[in-house]
Structure 1
């Protein structure tokens, strides 16, 4: 059985598409997970806590 180049290209493009969609969904679920809210709020405020003032 000979596998053609066009078939391999279509297969890799399809796999890549579904891989990126699944990865995007996983990131959105992680970010929206309720138990992560405090961690993200702390990270957002930490840059303001560490700032001593304007640079001169």
Structure 2
């Protein structure tokens, strides 16, 4: 996702990123768009998106 790319770039530039708040873990239903908008880490069909690997690599205990 674009948000994770920006966080990754910030870390690569030496910025002390201490947290990241992602809107939702699982895609959810949007009244105007149904399930067409996919912005969760896990798709609405419960498959994990490739971007979850970035979270796994970058997430470290504080």
- Which TM-score applies when normalising by structure 1? 0.25
Which structure has greater helix proportion?
1
User: Which gives a bigger RCO, structure 1 or 2 (Cα 8 Å, sep 6+)?
Assistant: 2
- Which TM-score applies when normalising by structure 2? 0.24
